[in-house]
Amino acid sequence: MLTSGNLVKTPGDRRWCHFDFGDLDELIAGETITGTPSVTATPTGLTIDSVAIISYSVGFWLGGGTLNSSYTLTCTISTSGGATLSRSTTVVVTQ
């Protein structure tokens, strides 16, 4: 699970990751994640694929990156009640 801490990986790592939204008031109240979640990296350079809703989480495969670089990874969802919610973390690429 990705949280407010850093995720450390090597350029060759391909890892299954997820952002958990289950602790947010909208989902606790019974709303669900709808539509197609967005997972983006800034700056570009990470590979993100197979984004999927898994209950109150958004899972995806994460790979790539440039050695000795940091990225901000952001996941944005929509809920059945009309809210738009985001979570972010930092990905650090090292050896």
Indicate whether 6 pLDDT > 90.
no
Query: What pLDDT does 1 receive?
Result: 61
Residue 2 pLDDT > 70: no
Phi/psi at 40 (nearest 5 deg)? -130, 155
Q: 2, 17 in Cβ contact below 8 A? A: yes
Closest CA to 65 of 90, 30, 33, 37: 90
pTM: 0.91
Q: Are 17 and 57 in contact (CB under 8 A)?
A: no
User: For residue range 34-83, what is the model confidence (pLDDT) as tens digits?
Assistant: 999 999 999 999 999 999 999 999 999 999 999 999 999 999 999 999 99
